[in-house]
Amino acid sequence: MAYQITSRCINCDMCVPECPNGAIAMGRLHYEIDPCLCAECLGFSDRPSCVAVCPVKCIKRIQEEHERPAGKNAGKKGARNADKNSG
């Protein structure tokens, strides 16, 4: 799991020194979090430190594909294909 800094970032530098893994660096337009380095501050804090110090609340959790909740169309593609194959 990782976090992402959105385009609402004001480049205030508050998050950079808070990251125990050095996962935050300046990107092209604003700060970015390297998802390979982000460990959500596990073992360091109850919640990600960058989220706690961000004055504009622009740091959001990234949901990985296997974590996404099933939507109203979940399973319909398989059901449609089963109908096509049965008749």
- Whether the per-residue pLDDT at 58 is higher than 50: the answer is yes
- The mean of the pLDDT values for the chain is 83
Average confidence (pLDDT) over 66-70: 55
Which is more confidently placed, 86 or 15? 15
| Domains of the chain and any CATH numbers | 2-64 (3.30.70.20)
HEC profile of 41-81: CCCCCCCCHHHHHCCCCCEEEECCHHHCCCCCCCCHHHHHH
32 near 25, Cβ under 8 Å? yes
Q: 64 pLDDT band (50/70/90 cuts)?
A: low
Q: pTM score, two decimals?
A: 0.70
In percent, the amount of the chain with pLDDT more than 90 equals 64
